[in-house]
Amino acid sequence: MGERPLVMSCGDPSGIGPEIAAKAWNAVGRACPFVWLGDPQHLPEGVAFRVVDDVADCGGDVLPVVPVTFAAQARAGHPDLANAAGVIDAIRRGAELVQSGAARGLVTCPIHKAALKAGAGFRFPGHTEYLAHLAGVDRVVMMLASDALRVVPVTIHIPLADVPKALTPDLLEATIRITHAALIRDFGIARPRLAVAGLNPHAGEDGTMGHEDREVIARVIARLCAEGMDLRGPLPADTMFHGPARARYDAALCMYHDQALIPIKTLAFDEGVNVTLGLPFVRTSPDHGTAYDIAGQDVARPDSLIAAIRMAWEMGA
Ligand SMILES: NC(=O)c1ccc[n+]([C@@H]2O[C@H](COP(=O)([O-])OP(=O)(O)OC[C@H]3O[C@@H](n4cnc5c(N)ncnc54)[C@H](O)[C@@H]3O)[C@@H](O)[C@H]2O)c1
Ligand SMILES: N[C@H](C(=O)O)[C@H](O)COP(=O)(O)O
């Protein structure tokens, strides 16, 4: 047996996770072996698989599976709250396998956050926060990465109304430091260039459209630039993402979820990878969700999941 495999949590079995996992195995399963954690009954009909007891047994041509118990069958496009516990268990067991050293990295298939909360009292906004909890770390960063653009939302899954209060100097500084370190370590960029978006229109227009840009963002940038970091901002977000602007930085830090995710999902929906920075192990996921509207129709594209597998494989080295 050669290199340690990746492990993949199945995500919501009523979403497109099982079908894109099977397609991804056919595409890259030999170059980047992974073991799928899920209920084999949830795989699309006709998918060849074999149950393994040990993730080291991941060779061969068919999808290796470590079974996870689920309470119900999966009906494509219709999440079943009874399966929430199984979805969470697959993520937990994947994290355990990576933390034990048995697996090289964790790739997570999409979950329906609201269904996990309703079905199993899941108290985390998503994988990112749950994996930080499992790893015992206080701060992690969500990065969406592609060849065209890397973005980091400083605040993530909170209501827009809560963003200004959540945007503290401490959170912004920690996010910049984790991102900067990851660009050096995981992306091989010796001197990262970071662009930092303003919160308000026109980055506050010299204080006439909000105070956060001057009183929070600019002060953190000045402090970290004095330490030698290459940071620019706060920049008006509406002119940060066209081609010439993107060429001037290695990652863009944005103040809230959609300020970051709209540009990357517009530019690179099929190539984008969600990578969690700051964990003591590698974790990636596709940049999309459960796609219930197309689940079970065999039209879901595996491209983003394949990109997530490739990135986890390379980072896991
Ligand atoms: N990493 C994750 O676990 C993750 C990421 C995003 C959203 N979600 C969750 O997924 C659920 C649905 O979210 P949503 O509808 O906002 O976003 P979504 O990404 O599931 O779907 C948005 C649109 O993109 C299409 N799409 C998504 N993935 C596709 C693929 N691989 N191939 C072809 N088309 C694809 C869908 O058909 C849909 O029209 C929500 O509960 C959300 O929280 C989870
Ligand atoms: N915010 C991400 C997106 O919209 O693609 C997604 O919800 C990721 O969340 P977790 O990886 O934390 O589940």
Over the stretch 97-123, which tens digit does the pLDDT of each residue have? 999 999 999 999 999 999 999 999 999
Mean pLDDT (whole number) for 301-306: 98
Q: What is the pLDDT of residue 265?
A: 97
Domain 148-267 CATH class label: alpha beta
Cα 219 to averaged position of ligand 2 atoms, centre (Å): 29
Nearest atom of ligand 2 to the alpha carbon of 111: 13
Q: Is the CB of 287 under 6 A from ligand 2?
A: yes
**Is the domain covering 1-140+279-317 a CATH 3.40.718.10 domain?**
yes
Cα 210 to averaged position of ligand 2 atoms, centre (Å): 28
Cα 183 to averaged position of ligand 2 atoms, centre (Å): 20
Q: Edge-to-edge, what's the strand order for the sheet holding 141-145?
A: 49-51, 63-67, 34-38, 6-9, 105-108, 283-286, 273-277, 141-145, 150-153, 251-254, 193-197, 230-235
Instruction: Identify the residue whose tokens are 């699309």.
Output: 44
Q: Is residue 157 over pLDDT 80?
A: yes
If residue 150 lies in a helix (H) or strand (E), which one and from where to where?
A: strand 150-153
Q: What is the pLDDT of residue 60?
A: 85
Pairwise CA distance, residues 236 & 195, whole Å: 10
Pairwise CA distance, residues 90 & 240, whole Å: 38
Q: Is residue 35 over pLDDT 90?
A: yes
Q: How confident is the model at residue 1 (pLDDT cuts 50, 70, 90)?
A: very low
β-bridge pairing 273-277 and 141-145: antiparallel
For residue 11, give the ligand nearest its CA: 1
286 strand-pairing partners: 273
The model's pLDDT over 230-273, given as tens digits with 9 standing for 90+, comes to 999 999 999 999 999 999 999 999 999 999 999 999 999 999 99
Within 8 A by CB and 6+ apart from 278, the residues are 132, 137, 139, 140, 141, 178, 182
Cα 95 to averaged position of ligand 1 atoms, centre (Å): 23
Mean pLDDT (whole number) for 142-155: 98
Record the tokens describing residue 202, joined without a space.
Answer: 């026109």
Pairwise CA distance, residues 260 & 152, whole Å: 6
156-158-164 Cα angle (round to 5) = 90
In the chain, where the domains are located: 1-140+279-317, 148-267
Cα 270 to averaged position of ligand 2 atoms, centre (Å): 15
Mean pLDDT (whole number) for 218-237: 98
Nearest atom of ligand 1 to the alpha carbon of 304: 31
Q: What is the pLDDT of residue 59?
A: 83
Among residues 9, 276, 282, 294, the alpha carbon closest in space to that of 144 is found at 276
Model confidence, pTM? 0.96
More confident residue, 317 or 157: 157
ipTM of the complex: 0.97
Q: How confident is the model at residue 317 (pLDDT cuts 50, 70, 90)?
A: confident
Q: Are 48 and 133 in contact (CB under 8 A)?
A: no
Q: How confident is the model at residue 3 (pLDDT cuts 50, 70, 90)?
A: confident
The binding site for substrate consists of 127-128, 265, 274, 283
Cα 31 to averaged position of ligand 2 atoms, centre (Å): 26
Helices (H), the chain: 17-28, 84-99, 113-120, 127-135, 163-166, 169-185, 212, 218-226, 243-246, 257-267, 303-316
The binding site for a divalent metal cation consists of 157, 202, 257
Best of 288, 294, 304, 309 to mutate for ligand 1, by most ligand atoms within 8 A of CB?
Answer: 288
Mean pLDDT (whole number) for 150-170: 98
Enumerate residues lining ligand 1, CB below 6 A: 16, 20, 110-114, 127, 274, 285, 288-291, 293-294, 300-301, 304
pLDDT > 70 fraction of the chain, expressed in percent and rounded: 99
Same fold, 1-140+279-317 and 148-267: yes
Record the tokens describing residue 125, joined without a space.
Answer: 């906004």
Q: Is the CB of 153 under 6 A from ligand 2?
A: no
Q: What is the pLDDT of residue 2?
A: 63
Q: Are 24 and 306 in contact (CB under 8 A)?
A: yes
For residue 15, give the ligand nearest its CA: 1
Q: How confident is the model at residue 89 (pLDDT cuts 50, 70, 90)?
A: very high
List the residue whose alpha carbon is closest to atom 5 of ligand 2: 287
If residue 123 lies in a helix (H) or strand (E), which one and from where to where?
A: none
Q: Is residue 64 over pLDDT 60?
A: yes
Mean pLDDT across the chain: 97
Mean pLDDT (whole number) for 272-291: 98
Pairwise CA distance, residues 234 & 309, whole Å: 34
More confident residue, 2 or 23: 23
For residue 155, give the ligand nearest its CA: 2
Instruction: Identify the residue whose tokens are 């929430």.
Output: 84
